[in-house]
Amino acid sequence: MLLLVMSLGLVYFMMTEARDPKNWRWFSALGSNGNSTAAGAAEQTPIDNRITPSAKNELPNTFISPDETPPELQQQPVGRYFPGVEPQLFKTIRDGTIHRKQERESWFNLLRVLEATDQETLDEARPQPATYVQLFQQSDEYRGELVTVSGTVRRACREGIARNDFGIKKYWQVWLRTRDNQFAPLVVYCLYLPEGFPTGMEVSAEVEITGFFFKRWKYNDANSEPRTTPMLVARTVIWQPPPAEKEPSHSHTRSSPSRRFEDSTATDRGGGYGRCPLGRESATCESSSSAPIPPRTCWTCCVRAHPCAGWCWTCGAIPAGGWK
C-alpha cells in the first residue's frame, strides 16, 4: 500500500513538472547543434533610430517643453571625467535634438579640452571602448565620457563653426559606420584630420576614434525622415594610409626614342657620338677617345647604338654574337 501511494505521488510530481514550459527547452534544441544560437549572436539587430511623434505632439504648432534633467545628472562626480571637462554643464544637453544654443557652453568646453590636449595624452587616459548600441541606449551614462569607437568612415566634410573665444575656426563632420552596427552611422566632429585622409561625400577609410560622447543628435536621412544617432567630438582619427604602389623597376636604363634620335643625329654630323647617354665622365666614356670609334650596330634590329651602350636601345637585346 505504501509503495502504491509513493508511486502515485511520483506520477503527480512528474505531471506537474511536465506542465512547466521551461523544462521542454532542451527538446526544441535537439538537432540544432547550437547553430541557431551562434547565428543569432553573429547577426546584428537593426536599431530603429527614427523619431516617432507621440500623441501629445501630433497637433500642429504645439510646443513641447524638454524633459527635466534627472537628479542623478545634476551632481556628477568630477573624478570620472577627463581633466578640464565640466560635468555641471551637461544639464543643458537634450537628447533627440539638433545643435541648441543652450548647449553652446558645454560644447565648447569639450572642444577646448581637445584643442589643448595632444592625441597621445588622450590615448593614455585609457578610454573605454563603446558600441553604437551602448551610446544610443545609455546616453546619460556615457555623456562627457572619453570613449573609443572604430569602423569605416563613409563621409568626411569640412564644417563651419560659430565664432568663439578659443581660436577654433573649423572642424570636420565625419560619419562612421561602426563594426558592431552597419545599419546606421554615428557622427563625429573632429578638429583635425590626418594628412592625406580622404574627404568628401563618399569615402571609405578604416579608423579608430577617441573622443567625448555628447548626445543623441537629431538629423534627417536621405529620405528627409528625422532620426537620431550618437554624436561624439574628437581631436582627430587614427588612420593607417594604404601602402603606396611600387613602380616597376627596370634592370637597364633605356633612353627614349627621341633621345636615340638626337644621339644618332649627333653621330651623323661626324666627329663623335654626342654626350654619353649613361652619364659617364669624359675620362671613362669611350666616345671621349681622340681616335674615331666605328659605329656599333645590333645584330638583331640593325640599329646603331652609342659606343658606351651594352644593349640595344631599340629591342633591348644584348647581342650574343657581339656588335656589327
Q: Which class for 309: exposed (0-12), middle (13-18), buried (19 or more C-beta within 10 A)?
A: buried
What per-residue confidence (pLDDT) applies to 267? 41
Strands (DSSP E) found in 161-308: 170-178, 186-190, 205-220, 226-239, 296-297, 304-305
- Answer whether 293's CB lies under 8 Å from 306's CB: no
Helix (H) or strand (E) holding 130: none
Strand partners, 175: 155, 187
Question: Quick one: 67-239 is in which CATH superfamily?
Answer: Nucleic acid-binding proteins (2.40.50.140)
Which three cell numbers mark 305? 647604338
Return the exposure string of 72-92: e unless at least 16 CB atoms fall within 10 Å of the residue's CB, then b: ebeebeeeebbeebbbebbbb
Per-residue pLDDT at 23:
55
Q: Are strands 186-190 and 205-220 parallel, antiparallel or unpaired?
A: unpaired
Instruction: Give bridge partners of residue 173 from the DSSP assignment.
Output: 157, 189
User: 174 and 156 in contact (C-beta within 8 Å)?
Assistant: yes
| pLDDT value of position 165 | 86
Phi and psi based region of residue 88 (left: phi greater than 0; alpha: psi -120 to 50; beta: remaining): alpha
To the nearest whole number, what is the mean pLDDT of the chain? 74
pLDDT of residue 242: 86
Segments of the chain with pLDDT less than 70: 18-46, 51-79, 247-324
In 3D space, the residue among 153, 155, 151, 241 whose CA is nearest the CA of residue 202 turns out to be: 155
Amino acid identity of 266?
A
pLDDT given at position 91: 95
Residue 298 β-bridge partners? 323
pLDDT of residue 227: 95
- With a threshold of 0.95, does the pTM exceed it? no
Residue 171 cell numbers, joined: 572642424
Q: Where are the beta strands (DSSP E) in the chain?
A: 128-129, 146-160, 170-178, 186-190, 205-220, 226-239, 296-297, 304-305
Q: What is the pLDDT of residue 31?
A: 44
CB-CB contact of 235 with 114 (8 Å): yes
Find, among 180, 181, 190, 186, the residue nearest to 230 by Cα: 186
Spatial separation of the C-alpha atoms in residues 121 and 254, rounded to whole Å: 52
With H, G, I as helix, E, B as strand and everything else as coil, classify residue 110. Answer: helix
**Structure confidence at residue 138 (pLDDT):** 96
Task: Round to whole Å and give the CA distance between 306 and 254.
Answer: 12
Q: How many residues does the chain have?
A: 324
Sequence spans of domains, the chain: 67-239, 255-267+288-324
Q: Cell digits for 316?
A: 633591348
* Cα–Cα distance measured from residue 257 to residue 91, given in angstroms and rounded to the nearest whole number: 75
Q: What distance separates the 2 farthest-apart alpha carbons in the chain?
A: 135
Amino acid 167: pLDDT: 84
